[in-house]
Amino acid sequence: MLAQRSFDHGPLRRRGIAFDTVTSEAPQNPVCIEIQSLSLWDGATQALRSVSLIVPERQVTALIGPSGCGKSSLLRCLNRMNDLIPGARVSGGCRVGGVDVQDHRVDVTQLRRRVGMIFQKSNPFPQSVFDNVAFGLRIGGCSGSELEGRVESALQRAALWDEVRDRLGESALRLSGGQQQRLCIARAVAVEPEVLLMDEPASALDPVSVGRIEDLIRELREDYTILMVTHHMQQAARLSDQTAFLHQGELVEVGRTDSIFSQPRDPRTEDYVTGRFG
């Protein structure tokens, strides 16, 4: 399935993608995710067109672009959630921490424990707060006092512990919308992934909750590689170290966030970030 398993960046330049930022303003951090010539078909329509992207470790990479440009599809390729969509086909490759994600020999359940995912609409289980955070740990075989400790530390890392420490037995659905989303983050963080994929994590929340989620993302950045889809240009500008602009399934431009927003190279990027379309 994979034409190439080595990842040199020559082909990127030959394809004319504005990728020079990787070499000229190369982020200091080591590479965490390498996406190379990734194409995705959803039935007959092509959702991604040979996308190549390097995501450095412990940074926030924002994926921006108009609706239907393939941002979410790209995210779902990285933890193989695309497998759930009948008729989806992938070519090209992506590596997370050196592991070829699309390789059929990869244990997807292990992969998904390494690559956590936060959804646009918070989706806590209709169980207690504790059981929600414990879910991933329990299916991994963790129990007893170790479980309790890890649930607590996950809730702390999601900046939720102080609000729910006395409500651990309560149904998660009683929490507010913002709390539910942070609970979902705690649930994902509990299994100690390397990568967090966030699909518009704050788009369905009120402004105060959005602020909290953004603070949280800034903190999580210290420990996790975050790849975040957002519709919100200012949010991408505030939060991310690197920004990638997708348009009609194509990666138009990627670079340091400040340069993408201040001096985009591609006219389409400029139109989008200045709000002329999208």
CB 137 to another protein: min, Å: 9
Tell the burial category of 62 from Cβ atoms under 10 Å away from its Cβ (0-12, 13-18, 19+): buried
Residue the block writes with tokens 């040199």: 8
Cα 78 versus chain centre, distance:
8
> Is residue 208 within the footprint of another protein (CB under 8 A)?
no
The DSSP line for 156-204 is HHTT-HHHHTT-TTSBGGGS-HHHHHHHHHHHHHHT--SEEEEESTTTT
- Please state whether beta strands 242-247 and 115-118 pair in parallel, antiparallel, or not at all (unpaired): unpaired
> Is residue 239 within the footprint of another protein (CB under 8 A)?
no
Sign of CA dihedral 269, 275, 277, 278: positive
CB 101 to another protein: min, Å: 14
Give the binding range for another protein (CB under 8 A) out of 31-39, 53-61, 181-189, 223-231.
Answer: 181-189
26 or 139: whose CB is closer to another protein?
139
Number of residues that bind another protein (CB under 8 A): 28
Give the integer Cα–Cα distance in Å for 78 and 174.
32
CB 116 to another protein: min, Å: 7
> Is residue 276 within the footprint of another protein (CB under 8 A)?
no
Give the binding range for another protein (CB under 8 A) out of 9-17, 142-150, 169-177, 209-217.
Answer: 169-177
CB 111 to another protein: min, Å: 8
8 or 107: whose CB is closer to another protein?
107
User: Other C-beta atoms within 10 Å of 111: how many?
Assistant: 19
Q: Are 224 and 143 in contact (CB under 8 A)?
A: no
Q: Are 164 and 171 in contact (CB under 8 A)?
A: no
174 or 276: whose CB is closer to another protein?
174
The DSSP line for 9-22 is SHHHHHTT-B-HHH
Chain positions 101 to 140 lying near another protein, rule: CB under 8 A, are 109-113, 116-117, 119, 121, 123-126, 135-136, 138-140
52 or 82: whose CB is closer to another protein?
82
Q: What is the DSSP letter of 30?
A: P
27 or 193: whose CB is closer to another protein?
193
112 or 182: whose CB is closer to another protein?
112
**Three-state DSSP class for residue 34:** strand
Chain positions 25 to 84 lying near another protein, rule: CB under 8 A, are 79, 81, 84
Binding site for another protein (CB under 8 A): 79, 81, 84, 109-113, 116-117, 119, 121, 123-126, 135-136, 138-140, 171, 173-174, 184, 187-188, 191
